[in-house]
């Protein structure tokens, strides 16, 4: 049976075939089409770069006052020696396109893997001193190995239940379930009660041993969109141009922005998250099923609270920590960056993130100090600086990345990916799994290919 990636490739081929069958007029299109790319995140910039190499005429429209989208590096100390990621964090060892682009642009990737410590029920367990039960480890290994042999019917059935229910149905004990909730919810940005069992299973059965949490770009992940933008040409990227309307006519497409600017072209590549998509006036209108899919797809709530400490009291460069507190998950955000100081990011998800995001730094400091106290004592005097970003309130995405719930992967994803006449869609929400830069790049390049092959 096909993997999730193969399912996407099959869907893309079917869409392309349908397009070729109904576009006899495409021969009238210019050899180098004019393309309007919506969004200067990684998907939009990857699409624009692919088109630039084919000498296409293009413009990139970005609503924010910066490029990068949900890639957001931040210099947290005054000397700009320590950089943390308030957005996308990891490059996986299997992320071929991002790795290839980094090599092309001379960007260094370094190891960003961690060995996890645990605070559970007010007890601290150093890495290597805690684990799931032996019986569950055996069961879980069999479940992952068996997924390779799932039929199409079994996969669709799994998609109709949440990950929590699937684990329960397979006899997981209470403590093991608690730990899976803590660990897996960091991957999906919400409780595992909200995640499709199929989406979760593919995440763990088809990814690298560290679940793609492997590498990071030296100097900050924002160096990749910066490098892409330099290749595309900054003059082609229009910041603070939020799209208001897209009008398709027989010979031309017109994109109008809220600031009154208007752009014409032959094609549009839309890399916007679904919340932004829903705010655009489409002429002709999107299909009813497309609108329903846009409204159905949720994006996860993630709050990243970075704390600069006056020393790295955790000692281990590969330190991360799961907790059953509201601070949820900590990881060393300045790994392999030379300094006496260091940063831990409190990475909270779902309802926890929503609560912490509404508080001030004094409240967040108390939460973090209390969460770490069992393992490291009172750290209140070690705080130097705090920075918070809550993706659940981001005005453009209203979430960090897409999360496919029960019965959504096989139903929503093909609809969301389907072009709308001469509008092609891209973005991490259409990738083989969500929340990684690789997905944005791959779908952006696929959309550019769709334009060129129209």
Say if residues 394 and 357 touch (Cβ distance below 8 Å): no
pLDDT of residue 31: 74
- Per-residue pLDDT tens digits for 376-422: 999 999 999 999 999 999 999 999 999 999 999 999 999 999 999 99
Q: How many CB atoms lie within 10 A of CB 286?
A: 17
Residue 237 has pLDDT above 50, yes or no: yes
- Per-residue pLDDT tens digits for 140-165: 999 999 999 999 999 999 999 999 99
**Cα separation, 306 vs 380, whole angstroms:** 14
Which percentage of the chain shows pLDDT scores above 70? 93
**Cα separation, 426 vs 422, whole angstroms:** 13
Domains and CATH numbers, the chain: 4-68+222-286+420-452 (3.50.50.60), 73-114+301-393 (3.90.660.10)
Give the sheet arrangement for strand 262-265, strand by strand: 262-265, 253-257, 243-248, 281-283
Q: How many CB atoms lie within 10 A of CB 412?
A: 22
**Cα separation, 445 vs 45, whole angstroms:** 9
Q: Which of 356, 342, 434, 441 shows the shortest CA–CA distance to 397?
A: 434
Under the banding of pLDDT at 50, 70 and 90, the label for residue 21 is: very low
Say if residues 35 and 29 touch (Cβ distance below 8 Å): no
Rounded (10°) CA dihedral 407, 410, 413, 414: -140
- Averaged pLDDT of the chain: 94
Under the banding of pLDDT at 50, 70 and 90, the label for residue 207 is: confident
Contacts of 369 (CB under 8 A, 6+ apart): 378, 379, 380
- pTM score, whole prediction: 0.93
pLDDT of residue 81: 87
pLDDT of residue 27: 46
């Amino acid at each position: 049976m096909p993997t999730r990636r193969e399912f996407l490739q099959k869907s893309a081929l079917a869409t392309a075939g349908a397009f070729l069958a109904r576009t006899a007029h495409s021969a009238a299109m210019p050899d180098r089409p004019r393309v309007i790319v919506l969004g200067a995140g990684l998907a939009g910039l990857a699409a624009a770069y692919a088109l630039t190499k084919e000498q296409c005429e293009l413009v990139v429209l970005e609503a924010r006052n910066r490029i990068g989208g949900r890639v957001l590096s931040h210099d947290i100390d005054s000397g700009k020696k320590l950089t943390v990621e308030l957005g996308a964090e990891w490059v996986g060892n299997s992320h071929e396109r991002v790795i290839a682009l980094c090599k092309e642009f001379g960007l260094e990737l370094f190891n960003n893997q961690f060995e996890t410590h645990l605070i559970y029920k007010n007890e601290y367990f150093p890495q290597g001193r805690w684990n799931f039960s032996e019986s569950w480890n055996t069961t879980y290994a069999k479940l992952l190995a068996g997924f390779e042999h799932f039929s199409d019917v079994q996969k669709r059935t799994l998609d109709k239940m949440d990950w929590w229910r699937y684990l329960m149905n397979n006899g997981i004990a209470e403590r093991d379930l608690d730990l899976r909730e803590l660990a897996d919810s960091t991957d999906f940005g919400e409780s595992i009660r909200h995640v499709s069992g199929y989406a979760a299973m593919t995440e763990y059965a088809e990814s690298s041993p560290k679940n793609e949490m492997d590498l990071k770009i030296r100097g900050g992940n924002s160096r990749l969109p910066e490098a892409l933008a330099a290749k595309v040409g900054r003059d082609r990227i229009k910041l603070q141009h939020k799209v208001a309307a897209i009008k398709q006519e027989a010979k031309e497409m017109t994109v109008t922005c809220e600031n009154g600017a208007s752009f014409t072209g032959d094609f549009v590549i839309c890399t916007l998250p679904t919340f932004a998509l829903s705010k655009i006036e489409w002429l002709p209108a999107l299909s009813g099923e497309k609108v329903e899919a846009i409204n159905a797809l949720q994006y996860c709530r993630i709050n990243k609270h970075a704390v600069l400490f006056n020393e790295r009291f955790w000692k281990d460069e590969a330190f991360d920590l799961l907790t059953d507190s509201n601070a949820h998950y900590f990881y060393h955000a300045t790994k392999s960056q030379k300094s006496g100081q260091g940063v831990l990011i409190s990475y909270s998800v779902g309802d926890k993130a929503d609560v912490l995001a509404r508080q001030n730094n004094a409240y967040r400091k108390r939460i973090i100090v209390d969460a770490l106290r069992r393992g490291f004592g009172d750290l209140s005097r070690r705080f130097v600086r705090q920075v918070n970003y809550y993706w659940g309130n981001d005005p453009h995405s209203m979430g960090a990345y897409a999360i496919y719930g029960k019965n959504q992967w096989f139903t929503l994803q093909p609809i969301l990916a389907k072009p709308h006449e001469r509008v092609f869609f891209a973005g991490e929400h259409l990738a083989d799994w969500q929340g990684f830069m690789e997905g944005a790049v791959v779908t952006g390049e696929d959309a550019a290919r769709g334009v060129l092959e129209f």
